[in-house]
Amino acid sequence: MGACASQSNRASKLRSDEIDRQLEEDSKRYRKECRILLLGSGESGKSTIVKQVKIIYQSGFTKEERLAYRKTIHKNVLDSAQALVEAIRKYGIEDLLRDKLVCERILPAADGESTADGESMQGRLTPGGNEVQAGDGQEGLGRELANAIEVLWRDPVVARLLDKHQSEFYLMDSAAYFLTDISRLSHPSYVPTEEDVLRARAQSTAITETRFNVGNNLSIHMFDVGGQRTERRKWIHCFERSAQHDEPHILHRAQRVRPGAVGGEGTGAFPFSPFTFPPPCIPLPALTTACANPSSSSRASSTPPWFLRTAIILFLNKLDVFRVKVAKIPLQRYFPEYTGGSDIREAAKFILWRFMQQNHARLSVYP
């Protein structure tokens, strides 16, 4: 009996020692690891950063992984075409189209109106909701629908619509890229390229973790909280341990709102709270906005104790889209104190200055 008890005790001690050793190794690994939190609203470029990391620091996307983006890309195409049709009807210019029936082929009206949430398009989607139902039995965009979208996109009315009213309705940033290449995207044997994957827009609904190494000594653990950005309890635990072990971590915040009338969600407003820091990292095209409008995502991530020693990397991205917007929409309309006119460099410097004014916590900021 005594021998059995002794063997059991030794086995228990070995297991305990192994657990302690593993905990110590994990602790050392965590101390060498830099954690990055990507936090912000839709279309600010968070998921694109994760994709770029996969391409640059990992093995990139396999053919199978790229094929998985077909559904998303085809839905992006149809959503973009829908947005154009709705805008054409909103501004009463449908009769100016060369093909008067093209809108009906893309987005049949329901009781004379098309819905903003896409319900009128459900007949063109498979039960999964992400794949466009093909008319020729192939998976993807049907030939008839793809032809109608191409006809619409090439119509001069669309160019005039975008020139006069693009800031007044939502059209995803990748719309022109995808619609210009509709014939390739709609081919039955279409395989998305890495550029297509980077341009694809899908709403994130889960927390995504990505690990990669930079050189031999730096390990990065990146978190994209996606649609959970306001559910702090679902992701804050990822950084509680960082604070306990004094590990380095970086916060990248992003904010994106839909262009339209000034003033709030789904509009051209550019809300960031003047009362919290870190400030949102806002893609430059979203800067046609009133900054005194506090946003829920800013309030949800005002500096908690876990981020008191956090470094901030401030990305003012999508410069190409911002350049177009600044040329058409005066920045001083939303920031009366701005005096730089349509100069893109002056506009970017002003936005950076506005952000730095919010650093009341005196965190390290790297623009």
- Does 54 belong to an annotated binding site? no
Q: Which residues contact 320 (CB under 8 A, 6 or more apart)?
A: none
- Does 43 belong to an annotated binding site? yes
- Does 295 belong to an annotated binding site? no
Residue 156 CB neighbour total at 10 angstroms: 10
- Does 228 belong to an annotated binding site? yes
Residue 89 annotated in active site: no
Give, to the nearest 10 degrees, the angle between helix 143-154 and helix 156-165: 60
Q: Tell me which DSSP letter residue 310 carries.
A: -
- Does 161 belong to an annotated binding site? no
Catalytic residue of the set 115, 133, 166, 228? 228
Q: Are 30 and 247 in contact (CB under 8 A)?
A: yes
Residue 147 to residue 238: CA distance in whole angstroms: 47
Catalytic residue of the set 35, 224, 276, 354? 224
Q: Are 338 and 332 in contact (CB under 8 A)?
A: yes
Catalytic residue of the set 48, 72, 289, 310? 48
Cα-Cα-Cα-Cα dihedral sign, residues 195, 197, 200, 203? negative
- Does 225 belong to an annotated binding site? yes
Catalytic residue of the set 66, 124, 199, 201? 201
- Does 364 belong to an annotated binding site? no
- Does 58 belong to an annotated binding site? no
- Does 224 belong to an annotated binding site? yes
Q: Are 325 and 342 in contact (CB under 8 A)?
A: no
Q: Which residues contact 115 (CB under 8 A, 6 or more apart)?
A: none
Residue 191 to residue 196: CA distance in whole angstroms: 9
- Does 318 belong to an annotated binding site? yes
- Does 147 belong to an annotated binding site? no
Q: Are 305 and 243 in contact (CB under 8 A)?
A: yes
Place of tokens 């449908």: 94
- Does 13 belong to an annotated binding site? no
Residue 117 annotated in active site: no
| Residue 103 vs residues 191, 247, 306: alpha-carbon distances, Å | 28, 55, 52
Buried b (16+ CB within 10 A) or exposed e, 250-263: bbbbbbbbbbbeee
- Does 59 belong to an annotated binding site? no
Chain-centre distance of CA 145, in angstroms? 27
Q: Which residues contact 2 (CB under 8 A, 6 or more apart)?
A: none
- Does 155 belong to an annotated binding site? no
Residue 48 annotated in active site: yes
- Does 189 belong to an annotated binding site? no
Residue 224 annotated in active site: yes
- Does 117 belong to an annotated binding site? no
Active-site residue list = 43, 48, 201, 224, 228
| Residue ranges of the binding site | 43-48, 173-174, 204, 224-228, 317-320
| Residue ranges of the binding site for Mg(2+) | 47, 204
| Residue ranges of the binding site for GTP | 43-48, 173-174, 224-228, 317-320
